[in-house]
Amino acid sequence: MEADIDRILISDKELATRVKQMATEIAQAYAAPEGLVLVTILSGSIIFLADLIRQLPIKMKIGLITVSSYPGSSTESQGAKLLSDLNVDITGRDVLIIDDILDTGNTLRFVRAKLEEKNPRSVKTAVLLRKPSKAPKDVTADFVGFQIDDVFVIGYGLDFDDHYRNLPHIGVLKTEVYESAAS
Ligand code: XMP
């Protein structure tokens, strides 16, 4: 796996430090968090969620929603598609969407619209990574872990063709790996 990485972009220590800071920021933002539901977009956010919630000293529930935007060995967003709908009731609840990365913004826009149909009290978003170049102005994140350049990253939950999620750091995938998968 490590041989397929061009370079480590964010180390496991940097991830741990920043995720802890994000948990503090989130806890401070929810003064009365009794109704908080963390809606997690599967599968890329699983490790971020697991680390974040163990640093989050507030009462909350977890909801799961599965959306596909980069099917198979693609590194270009193919548009968001719902694979499985939310498994908890969010009516009247404060919702925090948890996503791994904000890139084109298609996924967050799609999920937010789906959730707003269910009449939550509020909807905010937390993303571990943000690629600044492509996301339109109307798609924003309230909590951002790291701003990164427009490179395809893997590890810490993020995949290429469903591999590399178990890398403990965020790495840049070698161009030849996805070029050879595409050919
Ligand atoms: P959009 O473009 O919808 O992207 O904002 C959000 C989803 O696309 C996936 N994504 C990536 N996955 N490395 C990945 O492993 C990347 O560099 C990358 N960029 C986007 C990811 O599933 C994310 O939730």
Q: And the tokens for 5?
A: 């990485």
DSSP letter assigned to residue 35: G
Domain of 134, CATH number, reads 3.40.50.2020
Answer yes or no: 103 catalytic. yes
**Ligand 1 centroid from CA 85, angstroms:** 19
User: pLDDT band at 74, cuts 50/70/90?
Assistant: low
Q: What's the number of domains the chain is made of?
A: 1
Could you say which of 51, 99, 100, 103 is catalytic?
A: 103
Question: 164 lies in a domain?
Answer: no
84-97 average pLDDT score: 96
How many angstroms separate the alpha carbon of residue 65 from the centre of ligand 1? 15
In a domain, 121, yes or no: yes
Q: Which residue segment(s) compose the domain that 129 sits in?
A: 12-151
Spatial CA neighbour of 63 closest among 104, 100, 115, 106 = 115
Per the domain annotation, does 2 fall within a domain?
no
Q: Is residue 176 part of a domain?
A: no
Q: What per-residue confidence (pLDDT) applies to 26?
A: 96
Residue 1: its pLDDT value, please? 78
Quote the tokens at residue 172: 């840049």
Q: What predicted TM-score, i.e. pTM, was given to this entire model?
A: 0.93
Ligand 1, atom 20, lies closest to the CA of 103
Rounded Cα distance between 117 and 87, Å, is 14
Residue 178 lies in a domain: no
What digits encode the pLDDT tens for the residues 14-42? 999 999 999 999 999 997 767 799 999 99
Render pLDDT for 127-172 as a digit per residue (tens, 0 to 9).
999 998 777 778 889 999 999 999 999 999 999 999 999 999 999 9
